[in-house]
């Protein structure tokens, strides 16, 4: 995760809030990895099943001369994968909630640091931007890594499980782009939603009180 976080952090820009968000992730890689790893696993599993099923369907199409039989297999496969994806999706949702909780806990533990920034002239808007940048950095890195791993594992699973049956040889992975778009959209919602409560608490505490609490 640390290399992925650094890569995404480089895309956040050169503003003070963005630099502080990137520096925080680099200074505490274990905490950042713990916060994001659950989401990585959830996205990886969902993508893996989707890519494996889509690739298997692609491998089967040249072998099925009967259009009705091909449609029946496709429908059965799609239904099975949909059920599995929903079940795995719940684990991804739980992981996302866990990431939100970890981010909120991280903000609480850094009350003194945030109070010091406020005392040095950081505005409430800049504090919100910093926490949003941290959330964006973690969610984008987690989803990007999860998609890469999911595509790789799904393709490998389809090749190893069905390659010898279909005799299709090596085929390119079939990527369900709708799922990719949904993951990106979900990332945007998660990145913004995860910052609402932590930023509200961070900017509501007076700098003097935050420094005293630390």
The pLDDT of residue 152 is: 93
Instruction: Please tell me the predicted confidence (pLDDT) of residue 153.
Output: 92
Residues 65 and 67: their CA atoms lie apart, in Å, by: 6
Spacing of C-alpha 186 from chain mean position: 9
Segment-wise mean pLDDT, segments of 10 residues, the chain, 214 residues: 79 80 76 78 83 81 65 68 69 70 73 78 81 82 88 88 68 82 76 74 71 60
- Tokens representing 40 are 């990585």
Query: CA angle, 137 as apex, 2 and 180 as ends, to 5°?
Result: 100
Q: Is 46 helix (H, G, I), strand (E, B) or coil?
A: helix
* Whether the model pTM is above 0.85: no
The pLDDT value recorded for residue 211 is 65
Q: Give the pLDDT of residue 111.
A: 74
Q: Residues with Cβ < 8 Å from 55, sequence gap 6 or more?
A: 154, 155, 158, 159, 171, 173, 174
Of the candidates 103, 116, 129, the one whose C-alpha atom is nearest the C-alpha of residue 205 is: 116
CA–CA dist 191, 174 (Å, integer):
28
The DSSP-derived string for 51-100 is HHHHHHHHHHGGG---HHHHHHHHHHHHHHHHHHHHHHHHHHHHHHHHHH
> Residue 99 in contact with residue 134, Cβ under 8 Å?
no
pLDDT confidence of residue 73? 65
Q: Cα–Cα distance between 109 and 130 in angstroms, integer?
A: 15
Q: What is the pLDDT of residue 167?
A: 67
Q: What is the pLDDT, as a whole number, of residue 200? A: 77
Check if the beta carbon of residue 39 is closer than 8 Å to that of residue 139. yes
Under 8 Å between Cβ of 102 and 35: yes
């Amino acid at each position: 995760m640390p290399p992925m976080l650094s890569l995404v952090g480089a895309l956040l820009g050169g503003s003070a809030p963005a630099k502080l968000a990137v520096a925080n992730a680099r200074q505490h890689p274990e905490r950042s990895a713990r916060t994001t790893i659950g989401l990585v696993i959830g996205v990886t599993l969902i993508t893996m099943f989707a890519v494996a099923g889509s690739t298997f369907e692609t491998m089967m199409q040249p072998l099925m001369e009967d259009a009705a039989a091909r449609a029946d297999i496709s429908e059965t496969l799609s239904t099975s994968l949909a059920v599995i994806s929903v079940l795995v999706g719940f684990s991804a949702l739980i992981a996302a909630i866990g990431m939100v909780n970890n981010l909120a806990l991280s903000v609480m533990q850094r009350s003194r640091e945030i109070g010091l920034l406020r005392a040095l002239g950081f505005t409430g808007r800049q504090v919100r931007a910093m926490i949003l940048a941290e959330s964006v950095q973690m969610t984008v890195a987690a989803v990007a890594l999860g998609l890469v791993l999911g595509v790789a594992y799904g393709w490998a699973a389809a090749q190893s499980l069905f390659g010898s049956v279909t005799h299709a040889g090596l085929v390119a992975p079939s990527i369900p782009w709708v799922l990719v778009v949904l993951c990106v959209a979900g990332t945007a919602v998660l990145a913004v939603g995860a910052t609402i409560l932590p930023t509200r608490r961070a900017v509501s505490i007076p700098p003097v009180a935050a420094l005293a609490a630390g």
